[in-house]
Structure 1
Amino acid sequence: MTTPDTATHARQREMATEHLLFKLMEYVEDRHSGLLDFMEKSLDHLGDPATDATKDDEAVRQIARKMIIGARKQGVD
């Protein structure tokens, strides 16, 4: 078995983290309605930490919006 390179490992970690975050969001929203609304209201404070030409605060917010929309659609099975 080969050791994954840094980019592969980062992608795999990102996918695992995203999955667990979605499931946590769905679970908490199901039991304590309002979490997703609260998270959505916080997006104005979210930004891209980059300090170069790749900085794009709105792109980061859009990813977060899509995650919230996905959690609203998916719900708890």
Structure 2
Amino acid sequence: MTDDVAVQARRREIATEHVLFKLIEYVEARHPGLLDHIEGSIDHLGDPARDDTKDDEAVREIARRMIAGARREGAG
């Protein structure tokens, strides 16, 4: 991955996380239970990689941290 590609990927990730958190915050405020629903689905989450970088549990842990962060921010 070139430096430009890595930088763009990082920027997309930051922007995506921001938009996602704001969306979750908005929906959870109007329809409580969204975070619980997402949290209940984490066991089905996996890493689609087909090489030595595949790590389903690492992907699940990132999702858990995102949910915990959303709860801390007052979304749940």
User: TM-score if structure 1 supplies the norm length?
Assistant: 0.89
Q: Does 1:16 align with 2:5?
A: no
Q: Which entry has the higher C-alpha Rg, 1 or 2?
A: 1
How big is the alpha-carbon RMSD for the aligned residues of Structure 1 and Structure 2?
Answer: 1.3
Which structure 2 residues correspond to residues 1-77 of structure 1 after superposition, within 5 A? Answer: 5-75=4-74
- Structure 1 runs not aligned, ≥5 long: none
Deviation, 1:19, is 0.6
Q: How many residues align?
A: 73
Q: What is the Cα deviation at residue 75 of structure 1?
A: 1.8
Q: Sequence identity, in percent? A: 70
Tell me the alpha carbon deviations over residues 15-65 of structure 1, each in whole angstroms, 9 at most, x when there is no partner: 000111011111111110000000000001100000111110000000000
What is the CA distance between 1:5 and its match in structure 2? 1.1
Equivalent position SS for 2:41: helix
